[in-house]
Structure 1
Amino acid sequence: MAELNQDSGKKGKGGKVRSKKNGGKVDLTAMVDLAFLLITFFMLTTSLNKPQAMDVAMPDKNKIKEQQSDELLTADNRSLTILLGSDNKVSWVYGQVARPIEGPTVAGYGADGIRKVLMEKKAYVPRVSGGKDMIVIIRPSEKCTQRNLVDILDEMKIVDVKRYMIGKITPEEVEVLKRDNIYND
């Protein structure tokens, strides 16, 4: 039991003999219990509130500009290009945008939108490409919001797409968005 002892009075020289008075004792057990309870609570809450971040592989900044190419070489039957437009809409193309195998098709975000397409293509691509993974190319336009980019990256994690990249949108792809009426102000 934790307790606090207090002195009862004078300790002077000489004088009369007095009886010793016992001072009151303060029991600190409850305060020690409360301190440990608070420490435990705050340690638990700080371990639960860790920030969550998604790892995105970025290209090396030190590469020589001559070695970098704007052209992306991917197999048509493995690539799915997602163009992020305005109004929380996307346009997706299976294959290359210049020569699509399927699409362009407008979809929204969520389970009935682009997630359904990603799940279908993720199952379909290994069958037609000899067991190789699907490659998703995400191209955000100037009209999409940052929230749209975060949403599409979340969809990549939900569907467990292994290979995806974020690239610059080309003028031809902007024309596709304009044609689909999802490049509005």
Structure 2
Amino acid sequence: MSEARNTFGKTSITQKSKKLQPRVDLTAMVSVSFLLIVFFMLSSFLSRSNAMDFGMPDKRHIDCGTEPYCLGEDRLYTVLVGINKIVCYEGNRLDFSNETRSFKFNDNLLIKEMISKNQFLKNFYGDKKGLIVIIKPSKESNYGNLVDVLDEMAIVKVPTYAVVDITPEEEKLLADK
């Protein structure tokens, strides 16, 4: 049965509005999400670090017989970094037979010497083996001096270098020079 409504002869003055389903317009949300995606992609690209590859040696002491590092002594070059000077010698161990050279940071003599040594080793051994530099900053040297030496390694394109602790004998040599 159908239910009839009795209006008692009265007609309504206003027409009843038809109820619409609520609808959410997502056009603006799509625009905002697209802008956010672009912003985060751009900011993640710009926030990449421009740091230099920096590998520290293992803290373990590697011992293979009498040689502590098992490297060819003719390829090793040790750089002692002081306050405003650099002292260099060939090999790993400081002996009286090693010839030491002293440079100032303003000179480009360290770069010239490393280029010549690296070129000599590449000609002698081939392109696979080059100069191995051990950098030993002293306690008096500042961070900028170490960064300058590391920049020189990148300029010369030294294939292998490491930053290690300085020994007391080398500290004394650095103070004397």
Normalising by structure 2, report the TM-score: 0.65
Question: Aligned residue for 1:143?
Answer: 140
Question: Does the CA-based 8 Å contact 2:77-2:90 persist in structure 1?
Answer: yes
The change in CA–CA distance for 1:31 and 1:71 in structure 2 (over 3 A counts) is closer
The residue number in structure 2 matching 1:121 is 117
- Counterpart code for 2:166: I
SS at match of 1:173: helix
Aligned match of 2:125: 130
Residue 171 of structure 1 deviates from its aligned partner by 3.0
Q: Within 2, Cα distance between the matches of 1:45 and 1:136? A: 37
Deviation at 1:126, TM superposition (A): 3.0
Q: Is the 8 A contact 1:109 1:152 kept in 2?
A: no
Cα deviation, residue 33, structure 1: 2.7
Q: Deviations over 1:55-84 (max 9, x none)?
A: 4143265x7x98898945544432211001
Alpha-carbon separation, structure 1, partners of 2:65 and 2:122: 29
Q: Secondary structure in 2 aligned to 1:143? A: coil
- Tell me the matched-pair count: 160
Higher relative contact order (CA 8 A, sep 6+): 2
Rg (Cα) greater in structure: 2
Residues 177, 55 of structure 1: alpha-carbon distance in 2 compared, 3 angstrom cutoff? closer
Distance 1:162 1:35 in 2: 46
With over 3 angstroms needed to count, the CA separation of the structure-2 counterparts of 1:28 and 1:66, relative to structure 1, is: closer
CA distance in 1, matches of 2:65, 2:163: 15
Q: Which runs of 5+ in 1 are unaligned?
A: 1-13, 22-26, 181-185
Aligned pairs for 1:32-181 within 5 A: 32-53=30-51, 54-59=53-58, 61=60, 71-72=68-69, 74-87=71-84, 89-95=85-91, 97-98=94-95, 99-101=97-99, 103-108=100-105, 112-127=108-123, 129-131=124-126, 132-180=129-177
**Shift in Å at residue 144 of structure 1?**
1.1
CA distance in 1, matches of 2:154, 2:119: 16
